[in-house]
Amino acid sequence: MSDGGGRTFFGHPRGLATLFGTEMWERFSWYGLRAILATFMAASPANQGLGLSDVTAQAVVGVYGALIYLVALPGGWIADRILGARRSVFWGGFIIMLGHISMAIPVTTPFFVWLGLALIITGTGLLKPNISVMVGRLYPEEDDGRRDAGFSLFYLGINLGAFFAPLVVGWLAAGDRWHLGFGAAAVGMALGLAQYVGGRRHLSGVGERPGMRLTPEERRRFGRLAGLGTALTVVALAAWAATGTLTIDRFTVAVTIVILIVPVAYFGYIMLGSHDLTDDERIRMKAYMWLFVAAAVFWMIYDLAPSKLLFFARDHTELSLFGVPIQPATTQAFNPLFIMIFVPVFAALWVKLGTRVSTPQKFSFALVMVGLSFVVMAVAAALAGTGRVSVWWLVLVYLVQVFGELSLSPVGLSVTAKLAPEAFKGQMLGLWFIAVSVGDAVGGQTGRLGEVLSEPMYYLLLAALAVVAGIALFMFTRRLRVMMAEHHEPAMR
């Protein structure tokens, strides 16, 4: 569904430019906030922060990231059944912008901070899954090659936004100007919305209508259930608050437990429900469960970048690169920079290796890499005991981690689509993002280990967990390949 003979965007439908710009600015706002959120929460009220402990701030950032990925499931459903992708993206971006504006209000009460985070979570659930769907729908069904290339350009936009955000927002927020940084994130989302509205004529009707709109009766039922669920949640929180035991720490633990229950319940629903799964589909789902756990372990460590590693940059590193002073938030730009550099390298590598390297082996490599990155962190933390260390230690950590990410993240999306039972094709990609959600939530809670372990031992413990998981997965590679049907004859029924 291109623009016919009109102008194109690097040979792609003109609508890709609209979505590219929208997503780039949305990611600018997301990564800009993420780059300063933990240090803002841990800063004292005298320094315009919330005065939380580092442990609590890490837990909050973990739960915040986890919920961002978890709400992609209902966000996709709302687009499919109620709003359509196009309106979902607009309203999602608008709500995100309101969230950043709320956080930018320079008042001492934390109410507007929590309101802002809730709005950003809600808006991202509407925008993030649906803008990717719209990219895919710009192309005819049979145009797989151009579609893949279009997604590559789209992901470039994501990483451009992720790279520049920490640089700009970190600089603006320096000197305890936190709300100025949050304001920059709001401006970024506003620019994304302007790009989206201004370029909507190039979208050629993509995403205008829900794929399967709710009937009036279904709408009423959904409204009742949504209202009941909201009311029960509010009552439960109010009752908890009335007991005097509700704290931010305990709330993050409760949310983490709920997030852990979600994949268990979902896998149980798939495996135990009556969905006419074939024997092969059941076997492949059992294999996928192991890959899901491996992915959760990976993200548990990898997504400590905006909390634990950010605190290390703040407290233990000499913040300068090539003699130029930098902010702690600037270290968050290393990751997207390395991704942009190495994506084409790894894409070519996987094509060259073909089927000689299996999915479990790629996951194993990813786990070992993220584990080794924390071995590096343990060494850096030990050296930091006698003074600040060079920021190049963090550069090395992020470089090693990116090797792991590029072995797991795109491969995970691919294998999820491949192993999905026929009855769950449309839902399984959402399940993959739940692995990220689980990892982020649990990773946020690992900060509590720092209360009983030294800094180097904290990193070594998580490193050992990842490396052992990677080795175990590698040892069962042959068995998993059989279960995944990479070398498996269809079972007879």
Whole-number pLDDT of residue 337:
94
Q: How far apart are CA 366 and CA 406, in angstroms?
A: 8
DSSP letter for 209, please. S
Query: Is residue 404 exposed (0-12), middle (13-18) or buried (19+ Cβ within 10 Å)?
Result: buried
Are 249 and 243 in contact by the 8 Å Cβ rule? The answer is no
Q: List, as one string, the DSSP characters of 248-300.
A: HHHHHHHHHHHHHHHHHHHHHHHHHS-S---HHHHHHHHHHHHHHHHHHHHHH
Copy the structure tokens of residue 448.
């509590």
Whole-number pLDDT of residue 140:
73
For residue 193, give the H/E element and its range: helix 178-198
Whole-number pLDDT of residue 148:
61
Residues 6+ apart with CB under 8 A from 282: 271
Identity (one letter) of the amino acid at 5? G
Whole-number pLDDT of residue 486:
63
Low-confidence ranges of the chain (pLDDT < 50): 1-5, 487-493
For residue 216, give the H/E element and its range: helix 216-242
Are 81 and 213 in contact by the 8 Å Cβ rule? The answer is yes
- Residue 12 phi, psi dihedral angles, 5° rounding: -110, 165
Whole-number pLDDT of residue 271:
85
Q: What is the pLDDT of residues 332-365, one digit of tens each?
A: 999 999 999 988 888 788 778 777 788 888 999 9
Whole-number pLDDT of residue 413:
74
- Residue 464 phi, psi dihedral angles, 5° rounding: -65, -40
Are 149 and 139 in contact by the 8 Å Cβ rule? The answer is no
Closest CA relative to residue 74, chosen from 58, 61, 92: 92
Closest CA relative to residue 85, chosen from 211, 226, 197: 211
Q: How far apart are CA 217 and CA 212, in angstroms?
A: 14
DSSP three-state, residue 141: coil
- CA of 427: how far to CAs of 77, 133, 334, 423, 478, in Å? 9, 13, 33, 9, 28
Whole-number pLDDT of residue 426:
61
Q: How far apart are CA 286 and CA 271, in angstroms?
A: 9
Copy the structure tokens of residue 84.
């359509």
Q: How far apart are CA 237 and CA 254, in angstroms?
A: 11
